[in-house]
Structure 1
Amino acid sequence: MTSFHVRAVPGLPEISAGDDLAKLIAAADPGLAEGDILLVTSKIVSKSEGRIIEATDRESAIDAETVRVVARRGTLRIVENKQGLVMAAAGVDASNTRAGTVLLLPEDPDASARTIREGLREALGVNVGVIVTDTFGRPWRSGLTDVAIGAAGVRVLDDLRGGTDAYGNPLSATVVALADELAAAGDLVKGKAEGLPVAVVSGLSQLVGDVAEGARALVRVAADDMFRLGTSEAVREAVTQRRTVREFTEDPVDPGAVRRAVAAAVTAPAPHHTTPWRFVLLESPGARTRLLDAMRDAWIADLRRDGKSEESIAKRVRRGDVLRKAPYLVVPCLVTDGAHTYGDERRDGAEREMFVVAAGAGVQNFLVALAGERLGSAWVSSTMFCPDVVREALDLPAHWDPMGAVAVGRAAAPPRERPARSADSFIEVR
């Protein structure tokens, strides 16, 4: 690659719903040659596709196009929209459209790009690449730039992984967003107010061909997105994403992630400025096996005393094996060193309840923080039924009270949909 040329295409009329963009662009005499790349502003694509709606209230239009709110500050919202793009206001635009209306993004920008490409091939007999562009802000960077939201017939990513740089160093993480770079280059000649919504890039024919993937390939999938959550929404998202996971992969758990979750746990409120939480991290297979075997034996003994059959006992033990299947276990414990003693059964009982509530708050913080680390968890109560067994197996002080156990790992499958719960069902107002 030595050089390329970018130029705007003048002469396009105002676009209306139902207009054939490819024919209008061809009629503007864009001078397209084989292997050129056409950059088309999404606004005129939206207009041609009738994506103009009457909306005196732009906020309601944003609501309708929003799949997930990522961040909010005042009236400004960064959201994931129906096209999978994370951007301000879901791409709903009130500029360059008549008063009382707003423009929505094309429903399928990749399909729009394919339609324009095929139309130009039919009208002009040339094979070109087409990129549909839109304007984005970016985290940690001031200013706006155009990026690709739709593409056809052009390579959108250049994966350099496996190669080497000029010094022979291996490239292990370099994937270049070619389509975004082209979109930004086109924006330099199109401008925002000059009425030049189309540009042409010449000299990069090596990027053009019958490429299967479109601009959707530029959208990072949720599992790989380290910055998926926004500001205050991060807390709400982590809380709602916390799910009980009972099937784990064999992937090891990063001990550092668990320790970060413990750091979040111990910020929970507690009575009398105490720190009533202790988290026993079972990082060695020996410690996990020793604890779980001792608990299983104690459970079986209890079931036999209850008169359960051996078949029934075996089934119960199998169902309760979630802790054994997890690659990492944590036993949260309650320590009531700072509790007050009143010599009154009612007040002493309430005192302990305060500490138990504080322990639960700490465990909830812990589970939510694990979800933020993309780790699944299951809080199981079993250690509370055999505290002496747990203390002996783990060599814990006599005044540490086990508050269940937390299985930790990567979920083997997506969790089931949680039944919808209306907050109003749990609220009483006085």
Structure 2
Amino acid sequence: MTAYNVFPITGLPEITAGADLATMLLATGVRLADGDILLVTSKVISKAEGRVLHATDREAAIDAETVRVVARRGPTRIVENRQGLVMAAAGVDASNTPPGTVLLLPENPDGSARALRRQLRELTGLNLAVVITDTFGRPWRNGLTDVAIGAAGIPVLHDHRGHVDSHGNALEVTVTATADELAAAADLAKGKTSGAPVAVIRGLAHLVADDDGDGARPLIRPADQDMFRLGTSEAIREAVTTRRTVREFTSQLVDPAAVRRAVAAAVTAPAPHHTTPWRFVLVETQQARTQLLDAMLAAWQRDLAHLDGWDEARIAGRTRRGDVLRNAPCLVVPCVVMDGSHAYPDSRRAAAEREMFVVAMGAAVQNFLVTLAGEHLGSAWVSSTMFCRDSVREVLALPPDWDPMGAVAVGHPARPAPPRPPRDPEQFITTR
């Protein structure tokens, strides 16, 4: 165990653009020691660097600093800002700054920490560490605390993996956010309203390195490792807008539980007359898949051969589109049933009744595809089974009232889908 002390630096005047913060810190009379760690509130760095924006519209300032909206609830936004930090309001702050102005975070917090450390070393000859802090909320926890957004001279993470605890248990996932722990400890000394924006931690010189190190960037979780990268509604919207038809898959197997979760979402779709007209056939065995696709291919070839202009080459080209079903790791056949439908004596109403159930099936398939996208699975909804329903029912031993509505190939995409060109919704809207 290591004992350490935390104390604030008091007596700093109001910081303005261009201020020599290192000189002003030493002018307070603080006596620094080799191995001290300075925890500096980002606001004083921002003020010294001129990151004060004259803006009556804070929301516009947040827009300018935002690269991605993570979650939005009413006026509150959690965003990823230009520094790569995920936080409320992009770090744009209207407190502790004159009315009509807002404070932006330092442009490069790690660079700011390195510059201040270098200036203090030149003035004192001491080997110090500098951590720039800001106040964050945390998922699943109430209240705010200070965390590190910039650092110099200190490793921000301590990897305990490969070590053992006091009971001899191997530590497999423990990586301590050392810089965040220091930031929170210093905040107890600085306080939020005491006017002491800088604190010193003394007694942890073993944490202070000779070089600047990697800064605070290692604290930011990479996007591909972030299980909570978006809020609920944002995740749904992203899955809907970024879902693309995928026709090439890797050989990686699909988690059956993920497919079943997608089916669970599918059967929440709206349906007529309080019915549940959806059925999903999971073609899980290779034998069943081969029999199904061979039967479908034969039916297609048999039907097309009777049409003028359909020679063998054209038929082969058309049926080759079904290869996506043959090559995908997982195959699902959605079916609609008309249980609970109303009977009508005339064909017009009977046709409209069927269309209602088909629309419900489409809504279910959309839920299915979007949920698969949320599971990071690709999919392709192919209409082939609708052209040979009898063959599909026979091979899969389906009840006669199960009506196959295409087939869905599911798997891990072989490559990222190209970006979808933006579509103007106004082109699809008519107002009366």
Q: Identify whether the pair has TM-score above 0.5, normalized to the shorter chain.
A: yes
User: 1:39·1:199 contact (CA, 8 Å) conserved in 2?
Assistant: yes
Confirm or deny that 1:366 pairs with 2:368: yes
Distance 1:377 1:24, change over 3 A: farther
Distance 1:382 1:272, change over 3 A: same
User: 1:26·1:124 contact (CA, 8 Å) conserved in 2?
Assistant: no
Quick one: percent identity of the two aligned structures? 69
- Deviates most, 238-247 or 265-274: 238-247
Aligned to 2:415: 413
SS in 1 for 2:22: helix
User: 2:295·2:395 contact (CA, 8 Å) conserved in 1?
Assistant: yes
- Deviates most, 335-344 or 62-71: 62-71
What CA distance in whole angstroms lies between the structure 2 residues aligned with 1:167 and 1:40? 38
What CA distance in whole angstroms lies between the structure 1 residues aligned with 2:257 and 2:206? 45
Deviations for 1:344-389, whole angstroms, at most 9, x for unmatched residues?
Answer: 1111111111111000001111112222223222222222222223
What CA distance in whole angstroms lies between the structure 2 residues aligned with 1:139 and 1:419? 34
Deviations for 1:240-297, whole angstroms, at most 9, x for unmatched residues?
Answer: 2323223333332222222121111111111111111001122333333333333344
Aligned to 1:24: 24
What CA distance in whole angstroms lies between the structure 2 residues aligned with 1:273 and 1:68? 40
One-letter amino acid of the counterpart of residue 38, structure 1 = L
Cα offset, 1:216, TM superposition:
2.1
- Deviates most, 256-265 or 105-114: 105-114
Aligned to 2:203: 203
Confirm or deny that 1:165 pairs with 2:170: no
Distance 1:125 1:299, change over 3 A: farther
Aligned to 1:216: 217
One-letter amino acid of the counterpart of residue 261, structure 1 = A
Cα offset, 1:315, TM superposition:
5.4
Aligned to 2:118: 118
- Deviates most, 277-286 or 98-107: 277-286
Aligned to 2:334: 332
Distance 1:51 1:350, change over 3 A: same
Deviations for 1:111-131, whole angstroms, at most 9, x for unmatched residues?
Answer: 222222222233322332221
For structure 2, the residue ranges without an aligned partner over 5 or more in a row are: none
Aligned to 1:39: 39
- Deviates most, 303-312 or 337-346: 303-312
What CA distance in whole angstroms lies between the structure 1 residues aligned with 2:388 and 2:18? 72
**How many pairs align?**
430
One-letter amino acid of the counterpart of residue 278, structure 2 = W
Confirm or deny that 1:7 pairs with 2:15: no
For structure 1, the residue ranges without an aligned partner over 5 or more in a row are: none
Aligned to 1:228: 229
CA RMSD, Structure 1 to Structure 2 (Å): 2.3
User: 1:72·1:231 contact (CA, 8 Å) conserved in 2?
Assistant: no
SS in 1 for 2:390: helix
Cα offset, 1:311, TM superposition:
5.6
Aligned to 1:147: 147
Aligned to 1:53: 53
User: 2:12·2:25 contact (CA, 8 Å) conserved in 1?
Assistant: yes
What CA distance in whole angstroms lies between the structure 2 residues aligned with 1:133 and 1:220? 17
What CA distance in whole angstroms lies between the structure 2 residues aligned with 1:336 and 1:41? 65
User: 1:110·1:151 contact (CA, 8 Å) conserved in 2?
Assistant: yes
TM-score computed with the length of structure 2 as normaliser: 0.92
Cα offset, 1:298, TM superposition:
3.9
Confirm or deny that 1:248 pairs with 2:249: yes
Aligned to 1:94: 94
- Deviates most, 18-27 or 34-43: 18-27
Deviations for 1:400-429, whole angstroms, at most 9, x for unmatched residues?
Answer: 111122222233333211111222222222
What CA distance in whole angstroms lies between the structure 1 residues aligned with 2:34 and 2:225? 37
Confirm or deny that 1:103 pairs with 2:99: no
Cα offset, 1:164, TM superposition:
2.2
- Deviates most, 181-190 or 220-229: 220-229
One-letter amino acid of the counterpart of residue 168, structure 2 = G
- Deviates most, 412-421 or 258-267: 412-421
TM-score computed with the length of structure 1 as normaliser: 0.92
Distance 1:123 1:291, change over 3 A: farther
SS in 1 for 2:338: coil
Aligned to 2:186: 186
Confirm or deny that 1:277 pairs with 2:278: yes
Cα offset, 1:189, TM superposition:
0.6
One-letter amino acid of the counterpart of residue 266, structure 2 = A
